[in-house]
Structure 1
Amino acid sequence: MQLAQQVNRITIPRPDDWHIHLRDGALLRTVTPLAAAQFGRAIVMPNLTPPVTTAPAATAYRERILASLPPLVTGGATTPPPFSPLMTLYLTSTTSVEDIAAAAAAPHIVACKLYPAGATTNSASGVRSIDGLWPVFEAMAAADLVLCVHGECADPDVDVFERESAFVRDDLPRLVAAFPTLRVVLEHVSTRDGVAAVTNQAPGGRLAATVTAHHLLYSRAALFRGGRLRPHLFCAPVLKAESHRASLVEAVMGDTSGRFFLGSDSAPHVRASKLGEGGAAAGVYSGRDTLALYAEVFEAAGGEEWVAKFTRFASVNGAAFYGLPPPDGTVTLVRGDYPVPLVVEVVGGGGVTDDASVVVPLRAGEMVHWRVEAAEG
């Protein structure tokens, strides 16, 4: 049997990240240029403090994101970088139909985000029951805004490894049945139950899912490798058993419906927040090497067709589901062994020894095996 020849360089349509956290302030100025170097568009999560709950707040946040980008200089002329933040509203128990109408009228707001209260970082303002948001969901369906769902049950009595499965079993079916025309994204799907909900939906169903690189690469055993807790791999939803990880890989590799697509859930926290006495903040910062990490997954699992599958996942499926134009431009990745630094320094911070001034990236001190060589368009 002849082995497939190793691919050392690929060029694909410039991908979009359909779920990213850019934070605000100094962190925003640190991580946004790294995202813009890889992606043409990104759906930015609204869980700031205070949360982004109105269209004017989303517009103001978008302006801060764009202001954080360095200009491109070409032939002596300065032009804005080709990066477009797509904005979301944070749903609360007080979100109104009027808020949805204002969001639908704003050109750069494409979705609303549902956080169960207490499920993850800055989710205290989220909802305790989806039942109170029925008029909001109806208005979203009418306006054709996408509903992005952090699909976990936040009941503290539910085992942390079962929270996604509980949400998929109890709340998600009620939601999609009540609003069949509402496009719903099950964010950062992490279980075979979530995968099954997407793959087994009835014809004409409008449920999709984003999948992170860290859930594709790691199972929960990685959290405790070496006999100690690795806080920089702690996230919500938490990494699951190997059988769940394998189901995610199978789903993205075998997807023929276009319902699984790239959403990094890159969620930077300064090192002090990951190591503090109050416990590690939930979030994995994969944003420095997002595309490299995904490329590793597809290369390892995909055989001769892995580049085509990677292209659909990263550059085609998300835009089609959101009803947006295909991406402009291309990105080229090259294969090799590239070291990941121990930390990413926060702009204007106190240096590498200051835990409040650095972010620990995924694979810190290790290697990634692809890197972005160039992005064009």
Structure 2
Amino acid sequence: MKKLTITRPDDWHLHVRTGAILKTVMPHTARQFARAIIMPNLKPPVTTVAQALSYREEILQAVPVGLNFTPLMTLYLTGSTSASEISKAAECEHVQAFKLYPAGATTHSDAGISDIKAAYPLLAALEKHDMPLLIHGEVTDEACDIFDREQVFVDTTLTDISRNFPELRIVVEHVTTAEAVQFVQSAGARIAATITPQHLMFNRNALLAGGIRPHHYCLPIIKREHHRQALVAAATSGHPKFFLGTDSAPHPTSLKEAACGCAGCYSAHAALELYAEVFERADALDKLEGFASFHGADFYRLPRNLDAVTLVKTPWKVPGAYSEHSLSITPLKANEELAWQIQQ
């Protein structure tokens, strides 16, 4: 196959930051996706509808003229979130969900939930208002090996949440393990998952073999090969519970290539092309449209997009960096060749 046309996709997990970074990265997402679920972990975090609407306007200002893109906003769930704010969010057409970060789990998660059971009244309010809960599924116990944190979260915390709130719609963000895939597959229809390109493409050798590769470092961390294979099988299965969520997370190169580098892979520059390579390798290009364009919209109860995007099999080289003024962001697969590209 040399050309593939699919319904324009959406990104159901995206970081675009703010300020100069936002202006640099937003065109990459807007050229290929119609909508994206925007993560709220700014500093300070986006915790109110008013803040979300202000952030939405900043994002829209960064969308290039001529491109049609809709940011779908989320609120950061904290211990001080009120039931009234949840009610207000449920009534706002521009706010789609709340995001739960276990405190300390990842970038800018220090305002997250330290005692999830203490937050159960908030989860009850989300369930009442049918507001989806997006979960970064890792425990933060320092005694737990970093490669086991997702599995432990699934076995303990996530199982308890799903049992106590059976009507709550939950997206297990950026699943990375066979255990998380199995949990989502066996759970009810109200539980789904996003999968990133880096977790589909790489196992942990890509992070550590031959030297530390900081631009492959993300959280949850990349796992063993059998976990990667389980993710590819889920993504390419056509199962409606699994859909595209890049978790594209831009950081200045200087903060990635540092003594204590930031977690996050920047993939928005070539997101759909990266997924296409994975699906082609699995002989499943016919399943890409469902994963990228249908399953997420259906889960969020939003209309599917009506326009299309075309991928052509024409090799191109990813730039070493995307730079603007003094800002430089190193993308995933920098200076490497990709087989597919979006037809402009």
| Cα separation, 1, equivalents of 2:63 and 2:236 | 34
TM-score normalized by the length of structure 2? 0.98
| Cα separation, 1, equivalents of 2:105 and 2:291 | 27
Partner of 1:281: 262
Aligned match for 1:230, one of 213, 222, 228: 213
Residue 82 of structure 1 deviates from its aligned partner by 1.1
**How is 1:199-278 mapped onto 2 (pairs within 5 angstroms)?**
199-201=185-187, 204-225=188-209, 227-256=210-239, 258-277=240-259
Residue 205 of structure 1 deviates from its aligned partner by 3.7
1:299 aligns with 2:285: no
Residue 276 of structure 1 deviates from its aligned partner by 2.2
Identity of aligned residues (%): 47
SS in 1 for 2:340: strand
Q: Which runs of 5+ in 1 are unaligned?
A: 1-6, 73-80, 351-356
1:192 aligns with 2:178: yes
Please list the CA deviations of residues 178-230 of structure 1 after superposition, one character each: whole Å capped at 9, or x if unmatched: 111111000000000100101122xx4411000000000000000123x2100
**How is 1:34-113 mapped onto 2 (pairs within 5 angstroms)?**
34-72=28-66, 81-113=67-99
Please list the CA deviations of residues 343-364 of structure 1 after superposition, one character each: whole Å capped at 9, or x if unmatched: 0113xx22xxxxxx10000000
In the alignment, is the contact (CA less than 8 A) between 1:180 and 1:205 conserved in 2? no
1:321 aligns with 2:299: yes
SS in 2 for 1:254: coil
| Cα separation, 2, equivalents of 1:103 and 1:30 | 29
What's the RMSD between the two structures over aligned residues? 0.9
Q: Look up the equivalent residue of 1:214 and give its one-letter code.
A: Q
Return the index of the structure with the highest Cα Rg: 1
SS in 2 for 1:320: helix
Q: Extract structure 1 runs of 4+ deviating beyond 4 A.
A: none
Q: Which runs of 5+ in 2 are unaligned?
A: none
| Cα separation, 2, equivalents of 1:251 and 1:69 | 32
Please list the CA deviations of residues 117-166 of structure 1 after superposition, one character each: whole Å capped at 9, or x if unmatched: 11100000001121111121111112111100000001111100000001
Q: Look up the equivalent residue of 2:191 and give its one-letter code.
A: L
| Cα separation, 2, equivalents of 1:307 and 1:299 | 5
In the alignment, is the contact (CA less than 8 A) between 1:40 and 1:328 conserved in 2? no
Q: Look up the equivalent residue of 1:223 and give its one-letter code.
A: L
1:17 aligns with 2:11: yes
Partner of 1:345: 323
Residue 50 of structure 1 deviates from its aligned partner by 0.3
SS in 1 for 2:218: coil
Q: Look up the equivalent residue of 1:230 and give its one-letter code.
A: R
Please list the CA deviations of residues 34-86 of structure 1 after superposition, one character each: whole Å capped at 9, or x if unmatched: 100010000000000000000000000000000111211xxxxxxxx310000
Please list the CA deviations of residues 239-275 of structure 1 after superposition, one character each: whole Å capped at 9, or x if unmatched: 000010001011112243x000000000000011112
Aligned match for 1:144, one of 107, 130, 141: 130
